[in-house]
Amino acid sequence: MDTAQRYRAFATREVHGHSAIYEELAGRAADDEELIALIDQLPEPKRQPNLLLASVRFLGGPVDGYRPFRSWVIAHWDQVSATMLRRRTQTNEPGRCAALLPLLASLPQPLALIEAGASAGLCLYPDRYQYRYDDRPPLGPSDSPVSLTCRTSGPMPFPERLPTVVWRAGVDLNPLDVRDADDMRWLECLVWPEQRDRLERLRNAARIAQAEPPHLVRGDPNQAVRDLVSQAPRGATPVVFHSAVLAYLPSEARSAFAETMRSIPGHWITNEGPRIVPAVEARLPRSAPPGRAVFALALDEQPVAFAGPHGQSLDWFQETVDTGASGLGNDTPLGLRLTDTL
Ligand SMILES: C[S@@+](CC[C@H](N)C(=O)[O-])C[C@H]1O[C@@H](n2cnc3c(N)ncnc32)[C@H](O)[C@@H]1O
């Protein structure tokens, strides 16, 4: 896919229906040869539409109409390209905790949470947010500034109580610091302009993290995850999890990460695109719904649900496919034999 196609696809498939202004900017940029030629000067992974748009907002450029946007980008290309080279798409979405929660609550408590690709670590506070699954009574602290709603279907094991988290740690190629004003502003610029609810959620989750920052290390997830698991407090169940991360790793690095995860103690929760973790993909009981982006949520490589990419929905599987190769065997901490009951 060339850069123009990439921007067109972003406009029509990703932001359509979510951000009218980004749809216009990316759609018109796709037809703008001068702008595409500038973007093409960057290394291929740095040409992402969301990286350009967030960088322009980060620098205070206009994103309210195509003509002022393109004039500003061309006039300030040195600053724009430097920001795109220095920064990454690191959208941190605490809403994903609504997808993780049923699995976290099912594990032997207390938990030591270790997140791979943590960004600023806002998914490391599942015990600090309040949850509303369908029209059930809210779960979690009533004074939490973060309230997550999630629509469900299927035989979802609704958590009765929040998990007890005694340790929070993470690794990222570039950990962001919730106490750093520039990092926070970058995270805010990654939220699409019309998504005021997500922006508010991000700011409120960051306030929680600022009061008790997570232990985040910079580095390669393979080595760091092993080290972090070995540092988890005794008596706590280590749980390594990640969402919207493995797609950034080349397939050899993903395979190496899976091998690492199979060789260390504790549990492994993946919340990634349905085709990103091969052992999960092989066990999916049905195809991902067409025309709707979903993640495959899995515990120890056993898929349990399709999750909305921001944790806004959970479609729990009625059935699972047992290839006999699960790292879990067939008994899960849900206290269920997945193949019998789900
Ligand atoms: C889209 S963000 C998701 C952040 C967080 N997991 C969430 O769900 O909100 C992806 C994160 O993965 C990190 N990342 C990408 N490639 C990585 C790698 N090879 N090793 C460690 N982290 C990586 C990025 O820096 C970024 O913070």
pLDDT digits (tens, 9 = 90+) for 115-137: 999 999 999 999 999 999 999 99
Residue 341: how many other CB atoms lie within 10 Å: 14
Mean pLDDT of the chain: 92
205 and 56 housed in the same domain: no
93 CA: nearest ligand 1 atom? 9
63 and 105 housed in the same domain: no
- Residue in this structure with the two tokens 């919340």, named with its chain if needed: 271
- Domain boundary among the residues 46, 63, 86 is at 86
- Domain boundary among the residues 57, 86, 115 is at 86
- Residue in this structure with the two tokens 């496919």, named with its chain if needed: 321
49 and 179 housed in the same domain: no
71 and 138 housed in the same domain: no
The kind and range of the H/E element at 267 are strand 267-272
Residue 330, pLDDT above cutoff 90 = no
Q: Is there an atom of ligand 1 within 6 Å of 117 CB?
A: yes
Pocket test for ligand 1, best of 113, 245, 254 (most atoms within 8 A of CB): 245
pLDDT digits (tens, 9 = 90+) for 47-61: 999 999 999 999 999
82 and 102 housed in the same domain: no
Find the domain containing 10 and state its range.
3-86
| Number of structural domains found in the chain | 2
246 and 120 housed in the same domain: yes
Q: Is there an atom of ligand 1 within 6 Å of 248 CB?
A: yes
101 and 60 housed in the same domain: no
pLDDT digits (tens, 9 = 90+) for 184-231: 999 999 999 999 999 999 999 999 999 999 999 999 998 899 999 999
79 and 104 housed in the same domain: no
249 CA: nearest ligand 1 atom? 19
Cβ contacts of 275 within 8 Å, gap of 6 or more: 281
66 and 9 housed in the same domain: yes
- Residue in this structure with the two tokens 């005794």, named with its chain if needed: 234
- Domain boundary among the residues 34, 60, 86 is at 86
234 and 300 housed in the same domain: yes
187 and 300 housed in the same domain: yes
CA 155 to ligand 1 centroid distance, Å: 30
pLDDT digits (tens, 9 = 90+) for 259-309: 999 999 999 999 999 999 999 999 999 999 987 889 999 999 999 999 999
Q: Is there an atom of ligand 1 within 6 Å of 271 CB?
A: no
135 and 72 housed in the same domain: no
The kind and range of the H/E element at 116 are strand 111-116
